[in-house]
Amino acid sequence: MASASFVKLNASSSPWIGQRSFNQRSGSSSRLPAQRVSVIRAGSYSEELIKTAKTIASPGRGILAIDESNATCGKRLASIGLDNTEANRQAYRQLLLTTPGLGQYISGSILFEETLYQSTTDGKKMVDCLREQNIVPGIKGLVPLPGSNNESWCQGLDGLASRTAEYYSQGARFAKWRTVVSIPCGPSALAVKEAAWGLARYAAISQDNGLVPIVEPEILLDGDHPIERTLEVAERVWAEVFYYLAENNVMFEGILLKPSMVTPGADHKEKASPETVAKYTLTMLKRRVPPSVPGIMVRILYLDSFLSGGQSEMEATLNLHAMNQSPNPWHVSFSYARALQNSVLKTWQGRPENAEAGQMALLARAKANSLAQLGKYSAEGESEDAKKGMFVKGYTY
By annotation, the residues acting in catalysis are 216, 258
Residue 135's CB: how many other CB atoms inside 10 A? 23
Question: Distance between CA atoms of 206 and 4, rounded to whole angstroms?
Answer: 16
Rg for the chain (alpha carbons), in Å?
Answer: 20
Question: Per-residue b/e over 335-359, b at no fewer than 16 CB within 10 Å?
Answer: bbbbbbbbbbbebbebeeebbeebb
Question: Distance between CA atoms of 44 and 210, rounded to whole angstroms?
Answer: 8
What are the C-alpha distances in Å from 35 to residues 8, 250, 280, 309, 340? Answer: 10, 18, 32, 39, 46
**In this structure, are residues 395 and 303 in contact, taking their beta carbons and an 8 Å threshold?**
yes
Non-local CB neighbours of 15 within 8 Å, separated by 6+ positions: none
